[in-house]
C-alpha cells in the first residue's frame, strides 16, 4: 500500500504530486515538462533522430544484425490523467512526435512503439510505481514482449511460475525527493533463470567490491550467458539506461534480466550511444537501443566507445573530480532511489 501523502510535506520543485499519491518528474536538467510543448523537441532535432535511426538500421544490417529501437515512455506520457492539475499537451510527448516523424523512414522498421503498448495495458496492473519514474515488473514485461514480437522471438510462457513472490518496502527516485520520504510496497522481481553473468567491466566489479554496485550505471558493461536449452541460441547486445540495468535486484527496470532469460547470450552496455567497434567484434544477431523519453532532448553521439565511457565514469565515481565530456552519452537516473536528472 502506498504511504498516505502528507499535505504539509516538502518535495522538490522537479516533482509534481498528482492524485492518489502519484508522483511525476516534471523538472530536472532535462526540463521534462517543457518537452510536452512544441518548443520541447525542435523539428531539427526530430529530423536528426530520424536520420540517426536510419543510420543505425543500415549500419547494423552491414554487420549482419537487426537493429531494434525503443523509447521508455515517461510516466507522465502514460498516466498523465493522474496529474489533472498539471498543464501539458500529451500529443507533444517526445515519443509520440518521434513515432510520427519516423513515417516512411528506414527507422520506422526498427521502432517499437512502447507508448502504444503501454496505453493498451494502462487499465491493468500498474506499469509504473507511484514513487518512481521507472516502469514496474509489469511494465518491463510488456516492453519485453513487444520487443520480442518485433524480433520474431516467442517469449517464454512460464515466467510467472518461476517468480519469487512477495513485495518489499520501496522508495523510488521521486519518493526520495520528498520530505518525509515516500514509501510504497513494490513487487519483487527475482525469478529462477539459467542466465548467469560471465563478464563485468572494471567499473562494475570495483563498485561491487565496495558494496556500491547499485551506483554502477553510465559506462557499466556486463555479459550474460544462458545455457538453458530453451534459450534462443542467438546473441543480443543492448545499449540502454536505467530502464534496462545490469541487475535483477531492483523492483523496477528489469528488461536486461528478462532478455538474458530468453537469449543464449546478452551483452548490456549502459550507454545511449552505439559502440560500433564493439559490435564489429561481437557480431550479434540483434542490437537493441533503448533510451528514456526524457533523454531524447539530447541526441546521442555516434560511436562513443564503452571503454572510454567507463574510464570517465570511474574517474568521476572514485575521485568525484572528472566531469563527463559534453559529447558523452546521456545517462538515465543513476540508481534506484537516486534523484533523476
The verdict on residue 191 lying in a domain is yes
pLDDT at 336: 29
pLDDT at 327: 54
The verdict on residue 335 lying in a domain is no
Q: How many structural domains compose the chain?
A: 1
The verdict on residue 297 lying in a domain is yes
The verdict on residue 213 lying in a domain is yes
pLDDT at 1: 40
Query: How far, CA to CA in Å, does 193 sit from each of 87, 115, 233?
Result: 44, 28, 15
The verdict on residue 63 lying in a domain is yes
pLDDT at 40: 79
Q: What is the pTM of this model?
A: 0.90
Alpha carbons 221 and 165: distance in angstroms, whole number: 29
pLDDT at 296: 96
The verdict on residue 182 lying in a domain is yes
Q: Tens digit of pLDDT per residue, the chain (341 long)? A: 444 445 445 778 899 999 999 999 999 888 999 999 877 789 999 999 999 999 999 999 999 999 999 999 999 999 999 999 999 998 899 999 999 999 999 999 999 999 999 999 999 999 999 999 999 989 999 999 999 999 999 999 998 899 887 888 989 999 999 999 999 998 877 889 999 999 999 999 998 898 888 888 899 999 999 999 999 999 999 999 999 988 766 677 789 999 999 999 999 999 999 999 999 999 999 999 999 999 999 999 888 999 999 999 888 888 754 555 555 565 433 232 333 33
- Residue linked to cell 510505481: 129
The 3-class SS string of the chain reads CCCCCCCCCEECCCEEECHHHCEEECCCCCCHHHHHCCCCCCHHHHHHHHHHHHHHHHHHHHCCCEEEEEEECCHHHHHHHHCCCCCCCHHHCHHHHHHHHCCCCHHHHCEECHHHHHHHHCCCCCCECCCCCCECHHHHHHHHHHHHHHHCCCCCCCCHHHECCCEEEECCCCHHHEECCCCEEEECCCECCCEEEEEECHHHHHHHHCCCHHHCCCCCEEEEEECCCCCEEEEEEEEECCCCCCCCCCCCCCHHHHHHHHEEEEEEEECCCCCHHHHHHHCCCEEEEEEEHHHHHCCCCCCCCHHHHHHHHHHHHHHCCCCCCCCCCCCCCCCCCCCCC
Provide the residue range defining the domain that includes 67.
14-319
The verdict on residue 193 lying in a domain is yes
- Residue linked to cell 533503448: 290
The verdict on residue 275 lying in a domain is yes
User: Cα 68 to chain center, whole Å?
Assistant: 14
Of 261, 340, 306, 239, nearest in space to 24 by CA: 340
pLDDT at 281: 98
Q: Are strands 167-170 and 66-72 parallel, antiparallel or unpaired?
A: unpaired
pLDDT at 317: 80
pLDDT at 105: 95
pLDDT at 178: 93
Q: Please name every residue paired with 66 in a beta bridge, in sequence order, or none if there are none.
A: 286
Amino acid at each position: 500500500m502506498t504511504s498516505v501523502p502528507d499535505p504539509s510535506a516538502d518535495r522538490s520543485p522537479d516533482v509534481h504530486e498528482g492524485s492518489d499519491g502519484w508522483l511525476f518528474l516534471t523538472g530536472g536538467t532535462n526540463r521534462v515538462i517543457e518537452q510536452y510543448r512544441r518548443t520541447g523537441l525542435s523539428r531539427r532535432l526530430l529530423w536528426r533522430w530520424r536520420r540517426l535511426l536510419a543510420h543505425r538500421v543500415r549500419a547494423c544490417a552491414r554487420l549482419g544484425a537487426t537493429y531494434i529501437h525503443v523509447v521508455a515512455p515517461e510516466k507522465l506520457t502514460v498516466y498523465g490523467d493522474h496529474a489533472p492539475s498539471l498543464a501539458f499537451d500529451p500529443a507533444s510527448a517526445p515519443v509520440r512526435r518521434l513515432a510520427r516523424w519516423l513515417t516512411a523512414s528506414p527507422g520506422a522498421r526498427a521502432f517499437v512503439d512502447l507508448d502504444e503498448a503501454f496505453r493498451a495495458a494502462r487499465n491493468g496492473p500498474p506499469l509504473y510505481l507511484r514513487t518512481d519514474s521507472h516502469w514496474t515488473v509489469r511494465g518491463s514485461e510488456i516492453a519485453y514482449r513487444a520487443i520480442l514480437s518485433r524480433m520474431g522471438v516467442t517469449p517464454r510462457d512460464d515466467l510467472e511460475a518461476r517468480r519469487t513472490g512477495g513485495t518489499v518496502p520501496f522508495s523510488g527516485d521521486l519518493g526520495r525527493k520528498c520530505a518525509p520520504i515516500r514509501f510504497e510496497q513494490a513487487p519483487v522481481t527475482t525469478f529462477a533463470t539459467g542466465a548467469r553473468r560471465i563478464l563485468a567491466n572494471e567499473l562494475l566489479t570495483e563498485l561491487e567490491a565496495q558494496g556500491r554496485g547499485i551506483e554502477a550505471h553510465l559506462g557499466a558493461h556486463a555479459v550474460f550467458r544462458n545455457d538453458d536449452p530453451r534459450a534462443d541460441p542467438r546473441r543480443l547486445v543492448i545499449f540502454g539506461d536505467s530502464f534496462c540495468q545490469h541487475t535483477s535486484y531492483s523492483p523496477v527496470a528489469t528488461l536486461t534480466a528478462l532478455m538474458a532469460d530468453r537469449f543464449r547470450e546478452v551483452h548490456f552496455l549502459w550507454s545511449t550511444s552505439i559502440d560500433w567497434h564493439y559490435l564489429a567484434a561481437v557480431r550479434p544477431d540483434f542490437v537493441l537501443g533503448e533510451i528514456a523519453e526524457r533523454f531524447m532532448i539530447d541526441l546521442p553521439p555516434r560511436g562513443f566507445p564503452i571503454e572510454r565511457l567507463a574510464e570517465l565514469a570511474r574517474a568521476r565515481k572514485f575521485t568525484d573530480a572528472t566531469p563527463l565530456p559534453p559529447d558523452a552519452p546521456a545517462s538515465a537516473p543513476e540508481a534506484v532511489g537516486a534523484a533523476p536528472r
